[in-house]
Chains A and B, each alone.
Chain A
Amino acid sequence: MRPYVREKKSFTFDEVPENTSFEAGYLTTVNSGWRSIRPVINATKCVGCEQCYLYCPDGVISINGGKAAIDYDFCKGCGICAKICRIGAIGMEAERK
């Protein structure tokens, strides 16, 4: 299971567990706020070779329907995936806010 952002943003007192452990998979906040450029997959070029998946330092790339897919909640925009893609299927575009 890939981590995902918990929909509920705040907790009641009783919902906070006694110890620092939660059911796996939750992340309480997105962690990509400082991204200035974002990788964009060109799905027609992408062959699903998984090199970007292997090299992504944040583990935010998955293979979905044979093509790379990026979780923008956690992608920091480092550009390693674009650099490693030998067929040029990943481009870096300015982040639009």
Chain B
Amino acid sequence: MRKFLSGNEAFAEGIRLARPQVISAYPITPQTIVVERLSEMVEDGSLSAEYVHVESEHSAMSCAIGASAAGARAFTATSSQGLLYMAECLYYASGGRFPIVMMNADRSTALPWNIYGDQRDSLSQLDSGWIQSYAENAQEALDLALMSYKIAEDKRVQTPYMANLDGFVLTHTYETVDIPTHEQADRFLPSYETDNRIDLENPRNMAFSAGPDSNYIFKYKEHEGILAAREVIAETEKEFAEIFGRKYTGLTENYRTDDAEYIIVTLGSIAGLCRETADKLRENGVKAGVVRIRYMRPFPNEEIAAVLKNAKAYAVLEKDISFGNEGTVFTNVNSALKKAGVNINGYNFIGGLGGRNISAGDIENIYESIAKGTESVNFIGIGGEDNGK
């Protein structure tokens, strides 16, 4: 069935199909609509779940952890300050290996107070032990909602999953979305089964302390779990394509990169505009390409190195900055290349902070700048034309 939905509404439809048993939620712009739609679905009976109105994001995640520890499939959603407020609990969820799915509407963080989209909130939590996906459009958001539980709950993975949607640009923009049937979804995603739960028949100590002797082993196993998501994501997307007919390309999505000399590496909804700009530049003979990072954790080290190794230069375009250094995505991409022994010119373009628009002209400027060489770190729109340089 095809419907005209926003990113938030599409994600809510995906979650309905995934049949979570517990939803704990606290509203925050621009996430609010996803939890409003889910509450309506619970109200009208089209989703059979316990819907818990909590008093904060810290409680939202704590509730989801409790539900998961009771063996339930749990969902929550947040954004920005809410994500930061629940940060303590993110580590409990990942360390406890509770495969909770959370939608995060990527939004700027205070101060100055701002409700619009950038990716500083979720990228600040890269080290929290969660899988992190970045959707580009509403259809992908719905599909990731369905795939997320299958990936997170896999015995090899057992890791919580944060599905990031760009605030407003994706969460509030309406598109035509294909909604699968419950029959298809049930065939794809079985109910959640785990031993990592409170069970009266088989009592267990849950979420305990571990001293220096074993703590390190737990952390190593947590790392192995999130790394295992690489192959599980590939398997899940293959099965998804067989049942739903839509193909996805793993941790990254490449566009016209086979012969590309200049490549923009980016993530989220801006990738569409990058592809259009690359098409336009190709008409003028510039061999432009785009790599969209779909998963920041596990990070696509091999994929990035393989696609960039024959380029002349690359730019990392991101709505993020690690103050005092550079954009975090740039740091990660450079590390991938270093490990693979790839040595080409790379430049960081930071833009879109606090929801500021990144135009097609800005993206054309990026391709031109990296072709002739520029500063290592550039701030789009600060200091005048040519990316502030």
Residues of A within 8 A of B (CB): 1, 9-11, 13, 16, 18-26, 28-29
Contact of B218 among A1, A10, A16 (CB under 8 A): A16
| Residue of A1, A19, A25, A28 touching B211 (CB-CB under 8 A) | A28
The number of inter-chain residue pairs (CB within 8 angstroms) is 56
Cross-chain contact A25 with B221 (CB below 8 angstroms): no
- The reply to whether A19 and B213 contact each other, CB–CB distance below 8 Å, is no
The digit string for B185-215, where 1 denotes a CB below 8 A from any CB of A, is 0000000000111000011111111110110
A24 in complex: contacting residue of B96, B203, B225, CB < 8 Å:
B203
Query: Are the CB atoms of A25 and B205 closer together than 8 Å?
Result: yes
Q: Of all chain A residues, which has the CB nearest B203?
A: A24
Residues on B with beta carbons closer than 8 Å to the beta carbon of A28: 209-211, 214
Please measure, in the bound complex, the distance between the C-alpha atom of A71 and the C-alpha atom of B158, giving whole angstroms.
37
* Chain A residue at minimal CB-CB distance from B195: A21
Give complex CA distance A71, B72 in Å: 36
* A9 contacts across to B, CB distance below 8 A: 213
CA distance A25 to B263 in the complex (A): 57
Report the separation of the CA atoms of residues A24 and B199 in the bound assembly, to the nearest whole angstrom. Answer: 10
Q: Quote the shortest CB–CB distance from A13 to chain B (angstroms).
A: 6
B97 at the interface (CB under 8 A from A): yes
B contact residues vs A (CB 8 Å cutoff): 95-98, 158, 195-197, 202-211, 213-214, 217-218, 221, 225
A59 to chain B, nearest CB (A): 15
How far is the CB of A8 from the nearest CB of chain B, in Å?
11
CB distance from B202 to the nearest CB of A (A): 8
Residue of A21, A25, A28 with highest tally of chain B CB at under 10 A:
A21
Question: Can you name the residue of chain B whose Cβ is closest to the Cβ of A10?
Answer: B213
Q: Are B204 and A24 in contact (CB under 8 A)?
A: yes
**A18 close to B208 (CB less than 8 A):** no
Minimum CB–CB distance from A84 to chain B (whole Å) comes to 29
Known: A24-B203, A24-B204. A18 touches B214 (CB 8 A): no
Instruction: Give the shortest distance, in Å, between A20 (CB) and chain B (any CB).
Output: 5
Q: Which of A18, A22, A26 gathers most chain B CB within 10 Å? A: A18
A16 and B214 within 8 A (CB): yes
Please state if A16 and B204 are interface contacts (CB–CB under 8 Å): no
Q: How far is the CB of A30 from chain B (nearest CB, A)?
A: 12
| Bound form: Cα–Cα A23–B201 in Å | 11
**Are B158 and A19 touching (Cβ within 8 A)?**
yes
- CB distance A26 to B221 under 8 Å? no
A20 touches B208 (CB 8 A): yes
Q: Is the CB of B218 within 8 A of A20?
A: yes
Residues of B within 8 A of A13 (CB): 217
How far, in whole Å, are A28 and B218 apart by their CA atoms in the complex? 15
What 6 A-B pairs are tightest by C-beta distance, nearest first? A19-B97, A24-B203, A19-B196, A16-B217, A21-B204, A22-B205
Contact B208 A22 (CB under 8 A): yes
In Å, the complex CA distance between A1 and B204 comes to 12
B196 / chain A contacts, CB cutoff of 8 Å: 18-19, 21
Tell me the complex Cα distance, A20–B205, Å. 8
Q: Bound state CA distance, A24 and B217, in angstroms?
A: 20
| Docked complex Cα distance between A9 and B214 (Å) | 10
Known interface pairs A16-B221, A29-B211; 17 further A-B residue pairs with C-beta atoms within 8 A, sorted by A's residue number: A1-B203, A13-B217, A16-B214, A18-B97, A18-B158, A18-B196, A18-B221, A19-B96, A19-B158, A20-B96, A21-B195, A21-B196, A21-B208, A24-B205, A28-B209, A28-B210, A28-B214
